[in-house]
């Protein structure tokens, strides 16, 4: 498979994870941060492409990496910074 297939599958995994976040935000009546959603899907795309290619072309690894990878990164940042990650315009 080509690298872009892994990227697309990783993006799909990240988008699925993002949709759970959107549903959670809507149920709490929180504001939806579209930039944050876009950033996590882009990161999931990169993680999915890298790991899908690294695992000798397994698209399932790319999908799982896209879903779980951004969640792990977000958890690490929350623990080290002590708060949620917020993207702000400067």
Average pLDDT of the chain, as a whole number: 77
pTM: predicted TM-score of the whole model, two decimal places: 0.70
Give the Cβ contact number of residue 52 at 10 Å: 28
Q: What is the pLDDT along the chain (90 residues), one digit of tens a residue?
A: 577 787 888 888 888 888 888 888 888 888 877 888 888 888 888 887 887 777 776 777 778 888 887 777 777 766 776 655 555 555
Closest CA to 62 of 16, 10, 12, 11: 10
- The residue length of the chain stands at 90
Element holding 84 (H helix, E strand): none
Closest CA to 70 of 52, 36, 47: 47
């Amino acid at each position: 498979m080509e690298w872009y297939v892994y990227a697309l599958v990783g993006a799909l995994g990240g988008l699925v994870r993002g949709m759970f976040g959107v549903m959670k935000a809507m149920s709490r009546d929180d504001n939806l941060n579209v930039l944050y959603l876009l950033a996590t899907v882009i990161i999931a795309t990169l993680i999915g492409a890298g790991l899908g290619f690294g695992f000798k072309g397994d698209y399932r690894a790319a999908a799982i990496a896209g879903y779980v990878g951004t969640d792990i990164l977000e958890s690490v940042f929350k623990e080290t910074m002590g708060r949620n990650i917020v993207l702000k315009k400067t």
